[in-house]
Amino acid sequence: MSNHNNHNLGNGLKVLSKIKPIVWILLLLSVLFPAIVQAETKVICNNPDIKDNFSGDEKDSHIYGHSTLMCIKEYLPGCSKEFVFKTMISNPAFVAPMPFVRKPVTNCMKNTLPVGQIITTVNAENLEITNYTLDIHLLKPGKVTRTVVEKNGGIYISTVGRGIGILPQVNVVLGDQAFAVIDDMLREEVQTKLCEGRKCISGPPHPSTPSYVHYAIPQTHLRIYSR
């Protein structure tokens, strides 16, 4: 029996000796930092069918985006990233092309657009929301992320859409235009709220705070448009 056990132990040690160091590292990481190993399998809003990662190498892969100025802190007291984000999530019409309704956007909220259904995640810490297409959506799979950012004293909404759905060229043009319209609505809401009960002064145009920045495709440089 002892010889048999020693034989099994010897075979076990041989197997262990053949395991590459990288495997040991991964095993150790999975114990110490399970979130790292599980990152690639993150489930959005308990829906395993939602696609979050787009490498850009897939068939019909596309990306579009732009930044739109919401307000300039120097000219509008109260203008801040936090205020713009709070205003954006105050109404679903400010996060996706849908009717104007007075209800706040909540995490994992579902909404129906003319092209199908989406679900929206809210990341208050990063001042960011992301719309994900669901199965009942013409342009699935895809996502659009809207983030509040600051540049040279200007508060912007940065919008980036990614996907591998059908009609990629149409999606790029119409998607970008649709969110530009939403940005105009949001900017009007932001500035109306900031100007309540006070006299607002419009700041002069300045190259450092353009009203609209289009992310060129491929995204190798920025083209600046004034509207």
* Sign, Cα dihedral of 92, 176, 43, 148: negative
Q: Which residue has the higher pLDDT, 52 or 139?
A: 52
Segment among 59-73, 136-150, 154-168, 207-221 with least mean pLDDT: 207-221
Q: Of 92, 107, 126, 116, which is closest to residue 47 (Cα–Cα)? A: 107
Is a pLDDT exceeding 60 seen at residue 187? yes
What would the two tokens of residue 60 be?
Answer: 């019909």
- The full set of domains in the chain, from first to last, is 2-41 (no CATH), 62-225 (3.30.530.20)
Q: Of 81, 84, 89, which is closest to residue 109 (Cα–Cα)? A: 89
User: In this predicted structure, what is the pLDDT of residue 41?
Assistant: 54
User: What mean pLDDT do residues 11-21 have?
Assistant: 50
User: In this predicted structure, what is the pLDDT of residue 83?
Assistant: 98
User: In this predicted structure, what is the pLDDT of residue 185?
Assistant: 95
pLDDT tens digit sequence for 145-183: 999 999 999 999 999 999 887 777 877 888 889 999 999
Where does the pLDDT of residue 36 fall: very low under 50, low under 70, confident under 90, or very high at 90 and above? very low
> Hey, what amino acid is at 105?
V
CB atoms within 10 A of CB 77: 10
Q: Of 99, 189, 183, which is closest to residue 144 (Cα–Cα)? A: 183
- The span from the CA of 209 to the CA of 222, in Å, is 14
Is a pLDDT exceeding 50 seen at residue 226? no
User: In this predicted structure, what is the pLDDT of residue 92?
Assistant: 96
Residue with tokens 């500035």: 191
Q: Of 159, 154, 150, 147, which is closest to residue 209 (Cα–Cα)? A: 154
Are the C-beta atoms of 92 and 177 separated by less than 8 Å? no
Q: Of 53, 66, 60, 106, which is closest to residue 187 (Cα–Cα)? A: 66
User: What mean pLDDT do residues 112-136 have?
Assistant: 93
Partner residues linked to 160 by β-bridges = 65, 145
User: In this predicted structure, what is the pLDDT of residue 48?
Assistant: 92
**Which run of H or of E encompasses 190?**
helix 168-194
> Hey, what amino acid is at 3?
N
Is a pLDDT exceeding 60 seen at residue 18? no
Distances (CA, A) of 211 to 59, 118, 157, 176: 33, 28, 11, 15
Q: Which residue has the higher pLDDT, 200 or 71?
A: 71
